[in-house]
């Protein structure tokens, strides 16, 4: 059983609590653009998962049927305990390789791109991790962990990781020795040399202590969050493609065919010598670190936030009904979601053509409402058209009010 959809209201409630704690303590751990960007990657990841989660489930079920050496009973408490612990062990190696190998870092880097650290960062997830992550969980199938147990402990592992993405919880004494905590996970998200590539556990930090990858958060070395090659964008699609694009560019530029292939599987940061010499990548000086930011008027921020809320509602609809929808409907839903979040990313970056892109998005809602019933995304209804017209009219009014702000700030 997947518990994550049931936890979404609690995620939202805890984010609100953290925002109130920020205000009470006089801190500023949230920025509108960064939070929307993190949540956008999460919404896009969830929507993508409706189309791709079969990869992990089908490969696991196949391995369980054909490769299992034993068969563990799903009714046994010990099966659940073993699966929960062993899943985290497998996650540790997936997570570690996600930092140590280029092709895996291309997927995982999305989670680390935020230069803020708050509960919205926990929801910042990759849309391409499904391509290779399933490989690391096959040992559970070989050892006979039932599919229902596997899905359940996977969701519990993910749920645990939510609360550790906060700056409001200090070190927790003896608990730090055995479990992942906000303190040791803050170190994991740092780009400081002291903390780089450390603390990979999902629930248990004991794997890091056993395999030499543990690093305690040091009060004398304040954490600087983010990645050494900044995303410098608020666009969730580019967030998922940035490192793939860099690898592809390096592979295309290098003259050696062997380097064109192995660059994908080499250690993170490895580049062909000829490309590295001709096309060096600048790394920023942490002593002069500045967070990526784009000036936005308050009205722009409110408009974008409200538009994003509409996509959160659309994502919730897809999460609740996605399993019963036909593939064509899911593809249309994903396309609409990706286009909408891309356009909002453009607006957050205050591109000169942002208002034109936003107007185009609103116009494209007309064919969306017409196509949706044809592919089974939702039933044909006059209410759909009424809702679309009301939403579009209000959005156009809001866009008109913000247009001069976009023009003024980019001129």
In a domain, 287, yes or no: no
Are residues 317 and 192 located together in one domain of the fold? no
Strand partners, 267: 101
- DSSP-assigned letters across all residues of 243-290: HHHHHHHHHHH-S-HHHHHHTTTSBTT---HHHHHHSPPP---GGG--
Q: What is the reported pLDDT for 286?
A: 84
Are residues 42 and 155 located together in one domain of the fold? yes
Domain, as residue range, for 194: 3-211
Are residues 205 and 302 located together in one domain of the fold? no
Q: What is the reported pLDDT for 409?
A: 45
Q: pLDDT tens for residues 25-39? A: 999 999 999 999 999
| Of the residues 160, 184, 211, the one at which a domain ends | 211
In a domain, 309, yes or no: yes
| Of the residues 176, 211, 246, the one at which a domain ends | 211
What is the percent of the chain where pLDDT is above 90?
Answer: 82
| CB contact at 8 A, 241 and 109 | no
Domain count within the chain: 2
Q: Around 309, how many Cα atoms within 13 Å sit in the side-chain half-sphere?
A: 10
Q: pLDDT tens for residues 319-351? A: 989 889 999 999 999 999 999 999 999 999 999
Residues in CB range of 246: below 8 A, 6 or more apart: 229
Q: Phi, psi at residue 41, to the nearest 5°?
A: -65, -35
Burial grade of 33 (CB within 10 A; 0-12, 13-18, 19 or more)? buried
The whole-number average pLDDT for the span 370-381 is 92
Which is nearest to 318 in space by CA: 298, 345, 336?
336
Dihedral Cα 321, 324, 325, 327, nearest 10 deg: 130
Strand partners, 179: 204
Q: Report residue 404's pLDDT band, with 50, 70 and 90 as the boundaries.
A: low
Q: Kindly report the average pLDDT of the chain as a whole number.
A: 93
Q: What is the reported pLDDT for 385?
A: 86
In a domain, 223, yes or no: no
Q: What is the reported pLDDT for 405?
A: 56
| Of the residues 211, 228, 252, the one at which a domain ends | 211
In a domain, 269, yes or no: no
Look-up: residue for tokens 């666009």?
235
Where is pLDDT greater, at 118 or 322?
118
The two structure tokens encoding residue 316: 């919730």
Are residues 18 and 132 located together in one domain of the fold? yes
The whole-number average pLDDT for the span 183-207 is 97
Q: pLDDT tens for residues 277-292? A: 999 987 777 878 999 9
Which is nearest to 93 in space by CA: 13, 241, 208?
208
Where is pLDDT greater, at 82 or 8?
82
Q: What is the reported pLDDT for 402?
A: 76
Are residues 26 and 158 located together in one domain of the fold? yes
In a domain, 40, yes or no: yes
Q: Report residue 410's pLDDT band, with 50, 70 and 90 as the boundaries.
A: very low
| pLDDT at position 392 over 60 | yes
Are residues 72 and 199 located together in one domain of the fold? yes
| CB contact at 8 A, 176 and 209 | no
Strand partners, 204: 179
Q: Count other C-beta atoms under 10 Å from residue 283's C-beta.
A: 11
In a domain, 58, yes or no: yes
In a domain, 198, yes or no: yes
| CB contact at 8 A, 272 and 254 | yes
The whole-number average pLDDT for the span 236-260 is 97
The whole-number average pLDDT for the span 285-302 is 90
Residues in CB range of 67: below 8 A, 6 or more apart: 138, 141, 142
Q: What is the reported pLDDT for 403?
A: 66
| pLDDT at position 142 over 60 | yes
Strand partners, 190: 225
Rounded to whole angstroms, how far apart are CA atoms 27 and 10? 23
Q: Report residue 411's pLDDT band, with 50, 70 and 90 as the boundaries.
A: very low
| pLDDT at position 408 over 70 | no
The whole-number average pLDDT for the span 180-203 is 97
The two structure tokens encoding residue 221: 């070395």
| pLDDT at position 129 over 90 | yes
Are residues 52 and 164 located together in one domain of the fold? yes
Rounded to whole angstroms, how far apart are CA atoms 65 and 68? 6
Dihedral Cα 233, 278, 103, 51, nearest 10 deg: 50
The whole-number average pLDDT for the span 246-271 is 97
Which is nearest to 25 in space by CA: 186, 169, 165?
169
The two structure tokens encoding residue 398: 């809001």
In a domain, 329, yes or no: yes
């Amino acid at each position: 059983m997947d518990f994550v959809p049931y936890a979404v209201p609690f995620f939202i409630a805890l984010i609100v609590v953290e925002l109130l704690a920020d205000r009470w303590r006089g801190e500023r751990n949230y920025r509108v653009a960064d939070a929307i960007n993190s949540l956008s990657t999460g919404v896009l990841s969830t929507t993508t998962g409706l189309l791709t989660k079969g990869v992990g489930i089908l490969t696991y079920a196949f391995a369980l049927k054909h490769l299992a050496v034993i068969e563990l009973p799903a009714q046994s408490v010990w099966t659940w305990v073993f699966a929960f612990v062993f899943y985290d062990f497998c996650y540790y190696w997936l997570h570690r390789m996600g930092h140590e190998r280029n092709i895996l870092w291309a997927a995982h880097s999305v989670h680390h791109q935020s230069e803020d650290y708050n509960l919205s960062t926990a929801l910042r997830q990759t849309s391409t991790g499904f391509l290779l992550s399933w490989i690391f969980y096959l040992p559970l199938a070989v050892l006979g962990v039932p599919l229902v147990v596997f899905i359940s402990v996977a969701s519990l592992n993910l749920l645990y990781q939510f609360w550790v993405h906060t700056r409001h919880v200090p070190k927790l004494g003896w608990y730090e020795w055995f479990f992942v905590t906000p303190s040791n996970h803050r170190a994991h998200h740092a780009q400081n040399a002291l903390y780089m590539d450390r603390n990979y556990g999902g629930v248990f930090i004991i794997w890091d202590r056993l395999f030499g990858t543990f690093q305690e958060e040091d009060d004398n070395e304040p954490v600087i969050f983010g990645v050494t090659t900044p995303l410098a964008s608020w666009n969730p699609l580019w967030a998922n493609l940035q490192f793939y694009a860099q690898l592809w560019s390096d592979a295309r530029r290098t003259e050696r065919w062997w380097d064109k292939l192995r660059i994908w599987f080499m250690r993170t940061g490895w580049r062909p010598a000829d490309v590295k010499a001709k096309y060096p990548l600048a790394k920023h000086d942490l002593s002069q670190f500045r967070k990526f930011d784009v000036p936005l008027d308050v009205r722009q921020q409110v408009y974008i936030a409200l538009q994003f809320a509409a996509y959160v509602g659309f994502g919730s609809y897809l999460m609740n009904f996605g399993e019963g929808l036909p593939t064509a409907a899911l593809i249309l839903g994903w396309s609409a979601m990706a286009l909408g979040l891309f356009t909002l990313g453009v607006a957050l970056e205050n591109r000169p053509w942002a208002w034109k892109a936003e107007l185009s998005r609103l116009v494209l809602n007309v064919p969306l409402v017409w196509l949706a019933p044809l592919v089974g995304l939702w039933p044909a209804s006059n209410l759909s058209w009424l809702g679309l017209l009301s939403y579009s009219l209000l959005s156009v009014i809001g866009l008109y009010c913000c247009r001069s702000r976009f023009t003024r700030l980019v001129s």
